[in-house]
Structure 1
Amino acid sequence: MSKILIVEDESDIADLISMHLTREGHEVSCIGNGLQVLPAAIEQQPELIVLDLMLPGMDGIQVFKRLRADTRTATIPVIILTAKSQVTDKITGLELGADDYLTKPFSPRELYLRISAILRRVKKVTHVSEIQRGRFMLDRKNLKLYLDGTPLDLTTIEFKLLTTLMENDSAVHSRADLLRDVWGYNSDVATRTLDTHIKRLREKLGSAGDHIVTIRGTGFQFQTELAASQPA
């Protein structure tokens, strides 16, 4: 059983989602105002948040930014719900680090399957406690990265992306493989999003971002030991 927070101001949709997830054995709570989300997430510590982008009080994008900016909620996986007219917001949410999205109207069964896929990936990430590669140490149990012994805050997606690259260091990962392994789906939007996440991950790593190498025309590679021609 997992704790799931539903953020949806349309009560009929919230009730429908809650009914299906409760039937599958999850513990569900619902909120309909954007201003209430961060305090509730801090208090409840859900394992996943389903976040509608059209909310009273504070829109979903601002809510998402607040969740990611607070260390107590930064790593909670988030699925965003959008209307067809909110394509720009959907792209923004994915680029900011949302784990997945669904466009209304959607099937409660599809939402359940996507939630299950994300929860499985999170549990898989935490199965082996640590990955050590040179200057990098990933604490998979607590979803933390240590660079030269100093902790760095990563979003859930950034952590999964780095984990995938580090698990098979020196292997070249195609964009299609990373989209499948990290996000669990493939789309034109996700291709752009992948490049954005790689860019932001490198920025967070500073000079150590050079360990994530772009293989032109193919994808990306994590190099524990940098080639002599590359800056350290």
Structure 2
Amino acid sequence: MRARILLVEDDSNLVELVRYNLEKEGFEVIATHDGEEALALAEDERPDVIILDWMISNLSGIEVCRRLRREPETAGVPIIMLTARAEEGDRVRGLETGADDYVTKPFSPRELVARVRALLRRLRPALSGGQLEYGGLVMDTTAHKVTRDGVPVQLGPTEFRLLRHFLEHPGRVFSREQLLDAVWGRDVYVEQRTVDVHIRRLRKAINGEDLPDLIRTVRSAGYALDADGVTVAAGTGAPVGGTTR
């Protein structure tokens, strides 16, 4: 599985340099020089890491970072600021706005790749190997097996793909449309309410009779794999008392 990188940079030569080094290491790279387009791509393409320059067209990188952190769909995406602004105050501002790492120009492409890998290991451990883990759930993607707290979990093919997608992006909220694109594919027409059906099945399978619900329902937004999710009535997939978070 290839991690997807969104590169937001207005220097075309630098874009090609970074793209070459990332793709050589097996990453998929999407690039733009425009802050407004970066926000749209972050929502539509669901990158695993965003490399963000400060000085870009239409919106500054710092404003893009701020807006990404405000939206549930992109709040959890790791961000590396890549900029010529090297003053301590700039670093502090970038990190306080929500960047996970801050790299100043000039920089070593090898170091940037290493930082991307380190960020993925820390914030997206699911992307670093064939076994995905979160909140007691363990998925062996090679053997196609799932356990929770050591107990086997039986899943249908769609529920398996749905859970894998959640495990690859723990804590991140996905809309029904985004889940349809990721799990069913963009070329397949499926009604959005189908997602709700499979979420209920997935909840029933992984929660059993009395385990805490690991799938959080976000009103008017979608679903997330989140250990702080709501408690549900056993076997129903419906939030107790009808509340959501």
**Shared fold (TM-score, shorter chain, > 0.5):** yes
Q: CA contact under 8 A between 1:33 and 1:57: conserved in structure 2?
A: yes
Distance 1:60 1:120 in 2: 24
Q: CA deviation digits over 1:95-150, x for unaligned, max 9?
A: 1221111110001000000000011112337943217xxxxxxxx94227x9xx98
Specify which structure has the higher proportion of helix: 1
Structure 2 letter corresponding to 1:38: L
In 2, Cα distance between the equivalents of 1:76 and 1:100? 12
Please say if 1:13 is aligned against 2:17. no
Q: Distance in 2 between matches of 1:86 and 1:67?
A: 23
Gaps of 5+ in 2: 137-165, 173-211, 219-245
Letter of the 1:129 counterpart: Y
SS of structure 1 residue aligned to 2:95: helix
Q: Aligned partners of 1:86 and 1:7: how far apart in 2?
A: 21
How far 1:86 moved relative to its partner? Answer: 4.7
1:216 corresponds to:
none
Classify the secondary structure of the residue corresponding to 2:5.
Answer: strand
Please give the secondary structure, in 2, of the residue aligned with 1:79: strand
Give the equivalent residue in structure 2 for 1:143: 171
Give the TM-score normalised by structure 1.
Answer: 0.56
Alignment match, 1:33: 34
State the distance in 1 between where 2:89 and 2:55 align: 13
Rounded Cα–Cα distance in structure 2 between residues aligned with 1:87 and 1:32: 25
| Greater shift in the superposed pair: 28-37 or 76-85 | 76-85
Instruction: Show the 5 A alignment for 1:117-132.
Output: 117-124=118-125, 127-130=132-135
The answer for unaligned runs of 5 or more in structure 1 is 132-139, 153-232
Superposed displacement of residue 21, structure 1: 0.4
* Superposed CA offset, 1:146-174 (max 9, x none): 9xx9889xxxxxxxxxxxxxxxxxxxxxx
Q: Report what 1:106 is aligned to.
A: 107
**Aligned equivalents of 1:150, 1:47: Cα separation in 2:** 20
Note the 1:55-204 alignment, pairs <5 A: 55-124=56-125, 127-130=132-135, 141=167, 142-143=170-171
Contact 2:66 2:98 in 1 (8 A): no
Aligned residue pairs: how many?
Answer: 147
TM-score (norm 2): 0.53
- Give the corresponding residue for 1:52: 53
Match of 1:218 in 2: none
* Distance of 2:25 and 2:216 partners within structure 1: 40
Q: Is the 8 A contact 1:61 1:89 kept in 2?
A: no
Counterpart residue identity of residue 52, structure 2: L
SS in 2 for 1:128: strand
Q: Give the superposition deviation at 1:40.
A: 0.8
User: Percent identity between the aligned chains?
Assistant: 40
Q: Does the 8 A contact of 1:82 with 1:90 survive in 2? A: no
Give 2:99's aligned amino acid: A
